[in-house]
Amino acid sequence: MTRIIVVEDDIGQLEELVSFLKFSKHEARGVVDGIELENCLSEFSPEIVLLDYCLPGETGATLAERLRERFGTSIGIVMVTALNRGSDRIECRLAGADNYLVKPINFFELLALIDNMSHRLNSLPNMDQTWKLLPTRSELMPPQLPAITLTNWELLLLQTMADADNQQADRDTLIKALGKDPSHYDPRALETSMSRLRRKLPSLENGSNPLQTLRGVGYKFIRPLVVAR
């Protein structure tokens, strides 16, 4: 069973595809645009994302680029579209898509693609990617790298995210963790603290930062983060 998110703005096609994937013993969720995708990602961790190319708001290529930046090579991205021009294929590949399917989808081809991609993802080296937070030493230990010294505020911010669902916390929660009142606290001060913390953190294998900004929401640590208590 593979965890899959389908992003498709045609409700009929979305329901048909999600139903077929569930019937094929996969765990599938369906969303219609980038906003719903972000909401789904906050509670569901996919192994593969199927992206329609032509979406309202952000295009599938833009979403693929953001997914690749956030998750690196740990997920598979498949672009699904009625467009079949070479320039479209190139754009999707450059954005980070692994494969490109042209509508109408051959469901048996899709299943074969999912099986092959799942096998490849599961065959990747299983290195420990856990980041360890050490409150007694005010340090953060990245995997296979030297410890990073933290300020008291940085420690509190990371502890709050480590303890939160999906390691995601909104601005008000983070401000309260610092002992401040969100109604009287300048959110720009939080953004400054987060920016300084991000600059301390080493980049992931794909060049992205493990501390991600969720636009209009807050922040999320996208690698396993545990507190040594």
Q: In the chain, what are the domains?
A: 3-122 (3.40.50.2300), 131-227 (1.10.10.10)
pLDDT digits (tens, 9 = 90+) for 86-143: 676 777 777 788 888 888 889 999 999 999 888 887 765 555 578 989 898 899 989 8
What is the distance between the alpha carbons of residues 81 and 87, in angstroms, rounded to a whole number?
13
Q: Give the global pTM.
A: 0.58
What is the distance between the alpha carbons of residues 210 and 220, in angstroms, rounded to a whole number?
8
Which tokens belong to 118? 């799942």
Which tokens belong to 7? 């992003």
| DSSP β-bridge partners for residue 132 | 141, 226
What is the distance between the alpha carbons of residues 160 and 206, in angstroms, rounded to a whole number?
25
Which tokens belong to 76? 């598979």
Helix boundaries (H) for the chain:
11-23, 34-41, 60-71, 86-95, 107-122, 152-163, 171-177, 187-200
The reported pLDDT for the residue numbered 128 is 59
